[in-house]
Amino acid sequence: MKKNLIKSGMILTGIIALAFSFVACNGSGSQGEASGHDEHNIIGAGSSFDNPLFSKMFYEYHKNTKLQVNYQSVGSGAGISQLTHKTVDFGASDAPMNEEQEQAAGSDVLHIPVTAGAVVISYNLVEIKDTLKLTSEVLSNIFLGKITKWNDAQIASINPNIKLPATAIVVVHRSDGSGTSSIFTSYLSKVSPEWDSKVGKGTSVNWPVGLGGKGNEGVSGLVKQTPGAIGYIELAYAIQNQMPYAQLQNKAGHFIVPSIESVTAAANIEIPADGKISLTNTEAVDGYPISGFSWVLIYKEQSYNNRSQAGAEQLLKLLNWMIHEGQAYSAALDYAPLSPAAVKTGEVILKSATFNGQPILK
Amino acid sequence: MAQSAGFSRNIMDSVIKQTMPAISTETGKSEGHHFADRKRKQVRRSLSHIRGEKLFQQSLGFTGLSMLALVLAILLTLIVQSLPSIKALGFSFFWTSTWNPVQNVFGAFPFLIGTLITSFLALLISIPFSIAIAVFLGEYFPKGAFSNFIRSTIELIAAVPSVIFGFWGFFVLVPMVRALETKIGVMPNGVGLFSAALVLSIMIIPYAASLGTTMIKMVPATLKEGAYALGATRWEVLRHVIIPYAKSGLFAGILLSLGRAIGETMAVTMVVGNANFLPKNIFAPGNTMASVIANEFTEADHPIYLSALIEMGLFLFVVTFVINFIGKKIIKRATKNN
């Protein structure tokens, strides 16, 4: 009996130790994990929007260089946190890092624009054959829940040739946190002070009205099913699934059809040296107003966690290829190729990356 | 290493001392002393057998206890990681209904309501079906090809990935619910708490049904035959013998399916509408705790936001625990009344 007691005591101690070890692992253990850097393997994680393009790019790059790139499409936020924990060589995000994230990163993280995408406004109005036109004001009022019927005077006045039905408007938004929502809400925040104060911008926000769908497929599914629905989806997804989408008035006053060309045009503006610019509500005359860059993120100082200089060089060469030759694969996959201005800025940023203080790319 | 070897030798000694009398008394009763003597010699010769026996017992104990340790570790992790949110938001997390990641204001009340409405409504819809199936397969057709076919079909439901139910719900059920909503004159969203409950109810039927079938089959034939001999009809046997006898098992099955409904994520998130307000009626779009966590976890970019989602996980953990606890009490009371 006594022996049994001792034994169960020992087992219990074991349990507690085990339990604590789980906690400890979760708290700090992941930071110590090195990225297991061998020179024929680069690991990246982040934006799911970038994933189809990256897969194609890395496949082509592998054919030429035999370099394996392993990209995990886990979402922008998770990509940033994996980079911060130094478990990946690069992260990819549809939104630049915010202040908290930069603080968590510890040292400078470079933002290299790698492709551009757009968010289109899709709708379900069966009777209407012509493309709907929308202004920023009407769009924000619809998503604020202030316009509730399709035949509202505000919509009718910009669409004089379309006979609008009296159907109720069903707003559809993303339910999962996403870069698409981030671009869309940052546009609404820019064009509508009321949206900015009431709702704000982010990967998830407190939507005043509407239904949530998970992913682009969730939103487009709801829009297709629900008469009178309006929702926002990625341009590439909308093109591939032949969804109808509205023309949107840009800052210069033109109604712009979202397309690869009009997104590239939106990015052909003066880009700040750090590459972190929001393209929403662009100044560009022919630019589609809800466009945005997607960035690859790397630490400016590449010498950390016993990384080798050769490994850092390979990473930088890959990124340099991605913003130059790699852009050739964009259009076929419905991504907007980088504008000349963006490529130029990207080059300068890549050259600023260092290994032990020495520039890596010459 | 040396220490553990010494430890195991100690154990071996005590094992011999402890097991020998046990074996002799046990076998002595049933098989006679002669056999016991032979057995004793055999055991002495094969120390390795005993070691194996002991090892087996220990590994059983270890595996069982490590599950407990795992649950404790999960609970601890949830508590530790939700501390920032508990500090920042306090108890308002549990009863306020604003979920605003932009301003880091988090109230989980609408999601608690959504979880409870969808899972209890699903349970309510599923109970008649699962009990009917249990009675049918346990009492009316316990054997035969037809019965096997039905049983495996129902068990197949449990094996279908929940995302498939989500798809089916989204493309087939939701338009039907929308048509119904148009008829009764509520906002025809299609998606909503009611659709989620319908999908859930189908998903959870197999759990209650298969446990119920087993329990009904275990009702002793003598009891049933006794009742028949007294002139009871089939309905009376079912009502007064089988159901009371199998009651605790039926309850346990229902509890199991409730647990499944509360935790279900993927299928729910596809049809529930994902609106973060308090639902006005059962057709309104809503959201559940598991669904919010799954939706927002990957992109939670602020420490408090992430912590609030983990706190919701903790909340879900507690809610499940409380419901299970109450359920166990009900089962206990139900069996006591017999």
Residue that wins the pLDDT comparison between B55 and B46: B55
Q: From CA A113, how far away is CA A289, in angstroms rounded?
A: 18
Which candidate, B261, B245, B254, places its Cα nearest to that of B138? Answer: B245
| B298-309: pLDDT as tens digits | 888 788 999 999
Using a CB-CB distance cutoff of 8 angstroms, which residues of chain A are in contact with residue B14?
3
Q: Tell me which of B105, B168, B274, B302 to substitute to probe the interface with A (most A C-beta atoms closer than 10 Å).
A: B274
Tell me whether residues A206 and B98 touch, CB distance under 8 A.
yes
Mean pLDDT of B183-190: 88
Lowest mean pLDDT of A17-21, A200-204, B258-262, B283-287, name the range: A17-21
Lowest mean pLDDT of B39-43, B119-123, B180-184, B316-320, name the range: B39-43
| Residue pairs between chains A and B whose CB atoms are closer than 8 Å | 126
Q: Any CB–CB contact under 8 A between A29 and chain B?
A: no
Angstroms from B151 CA to nearest CA on chain A: 34
Determine the pLDDT at residue B204.
94
Which candidate, B294, B317, B315, B281, places its Cα nearest to that of B95? Answer: B315
Which candidate, A150, A226, A145, A216, places its Cα nearest to that of B192? Answer: A226
Q: Any CB–CB contact under 8 A between A215 and chain B?
A: no
- Tokens 């870069």 locate to A179
Beta strand A255-256 pairing with A247-249: antiparallel
Q: From CA A243, how far away is CA A235, in angstroms rounded?
A: 10
Determine the pLDDT at residue B164.
94
Q: From CA A316, how far away is CA B196, in angstroms rounded?
A: 48
Which candidate, A119, A359, A87, places its Cα nearest to that of A239? Answer: A119
Decide: helix, strand or coil at residue B32.
coil
Q: Measure CB to CB from residue A101 to each of B175, B297, B301 and give the nearest one.
A: B301
Nearest residue in A to B189, CA atom: A226
Instruction: Check residue A298 and report its DSSP letter.
Output: E
Question: Under a CB-based contact definition with an 8 Å cutoff, are residues A338 and A116 in contact?
Answer: yes
CA neighbours closer than 13 Å in the CB half-sphere of residue B113: 19
Q: Any CB–CB contact under 8 A between A362 and chain B?
A: no
Please list the residues that pair with A358 across neighbouring strands.
A355
Q: From CA B77, how far away is CA B304, in angstroms rounded?
A: 16
Distance of CA A215 to the CA centre of its chain: 13
Q: Any CB–CB contact under 8 A between A202 and chain B?
A: yes
Alpha helices in B136-188, H assignment, sequence order: 145-159, 162-168, 174-184
List the structure tokens of A140: 């924000």
List the structure tokens of B28: 């002595």
Residue A56 has a CB neighbour count (10 Å cut-off) of: 16
Which candidate, A139, A120, A130, places its Cα nearest to that of A291? Answer: A120
Tell me whether residues A177 and B299 touch, CB distance under 8 A.
yes
Residue A185 has a CB neighbour count (10 Å cut-off) of: 26
Angstroms from A51 CA to nearest CA on chain B: 16
Using a CB-CB distance cutoff of 8 angstroms, which residues of chain A are in contact with residue B191?
211, 222
CA distances from A279 to A93, A94, A183, A268 (A): 15, 12, 9, 9
Segments in chain A below pLDDT 50? 1-2, 13, 21, 23-38
List the structure tokens of B291: 């669904």
Determine the pLDDT at residue A10.
54
Q: From CA A37, how far away is CA A315, in angstroms rounded?
A: 11
Which candidate, A285, A279, A280, A292, places its Cα nearest to that of A254? Answer: A285
Q: From CA A122, how far away is CA A129, in angstroms rounded?
A: 13
Tell me whether residues B299 and A75 touch, CB distance under 8 A.
yes
Q: From CA B49, how far away is CA A213, in angstroms rounded?
A: 60
Q: Measure CB to CB from residue B295 to each of A20, A27, A214 and give the nearest one.
A: A214
Q: From CA B6, how far away is CA B54, in angstroms rounded?
A: 16
Determine the pLDDT at residue A231.
96
Decide: helix, strand or coil at residue A271.
coil
Instruction: Check residue B218 and report its DSSP letter.
Output: T
For residue B271, the one-letter residue type is V
Tell me whether residues A225 and B295 touch, CB distance under 8 A.
no
Q: From CA A114, how far away is CA A46, in angstroms rounded?
A: 13
Decide: helix, strand or coil at residue A68.
strand
Q: Tell me which of A124, A175, A195, A225 to substitute to probe the interface with B (most B C-beta atoms closer than 10 Å).
A: A175
| B117-174: pLDDT as tens digits | 999 999 999 999 999 999 999 989 888 899 999 999 998 998 999 999 999 999 999 9
Q: Cα torsion for A334, A335, A339, A343, to the nearest 10°?
A: -140
Q: From CA B98, how far away is CA A175, in angstroms rounded?
A: 15
Strand order in the sheet with A211-213: A68-72, A41-46, A90-93, A291-299, A109-123, A229-234, A170-174, A211-213
Q: Measure CB to CB from residue B190 to each of A27, A212, A225 and give the nearest one.
A: A225
What sign does the dihedral A298-A303-A308-A312 (CA atoms) show?
A: positive
DSSP A97-117: --HHHHHHH-S-EEEEEEEEE
Determine the pLDDT at residue B44.
63
CA distances from A340 to A61, A113, A266, A322 (A): 22, 12, 12, 14
Tell me whether residues A211 and B285 touch, CB distance under 8 A.
yes
Question: Under a CB-based contact definition with an 8 Å cutoff, are residues A315 and A298 in contact?
Answer: yes
Tell me whether residues B276 and A221 touch, CB distance under 8 A.
no
Using a CB-CB distance cutoff of 8 angstroms, which residues of chain B are in contact with residue A204?
101, 295-296, 299-300
Q: Measure CB to CB from residue B81 to each of A26, A179, A205 and give the nearest one.
A: A26
Instruction: Check residue A338 and report its DSSP letter.
Output: P
Burial code (b: 16+ CB inside 10 Å, e: under 16) for B51-79 equals eeebeeeeeeeeeebeeebeebbeebbbe
Residue B275 has a CB neighbour count (10 Å cut-off) of: 25
Q: Measure CB to CB from residue B274 to each of A78, A100, A212 and give the nearest one.
A: A212
DSSP A119-173: EEEEE--TT--SPPEE-HHHHHHHHHTS--BTT-HHHHHH-TTS----PBPEEEE
| B213-255: pLDDT as tens digits | 999 999 999 999 999 999 999 999 999 999 999 988 888 899 9
List the structure tokens of A297: 């993120």
Q: Considering only the C-alpha atoms of chain A, give the largest distance between any 2 of them, rounded to a whole number of Å.
A: 92
Helix or strand holding residue A323 (H, E)? helix A309-323
- A residues 85..144 contacting B (CB < 8 A): 98, 100-101
Q: Interface pTM (ipTM) of the complex?
A: 0.78
Q: From CA A40, how far away is CA A288, in angstroms rounded?
A: 40
Alpha helices in chain B, H assignment, sequence order: 2-31, 33-45, 47-89, 92-95, 109-135, 145-159, 162-168, 174-184, 193-217, 221-229, 234-237, 243-263, 266-271, 289-296, 303-336
Q: From CA A289, how far away is CA A266, in angstroms rounded?
A: 7
Kindly indicate the confidence band of residue B85, based on its pLDDT and cuts at 50, 70 and 90: very high
| A178-217: pLDDT as tens digits | 888 999 999 999 999 999 999 999 889 999 999 999 989 9
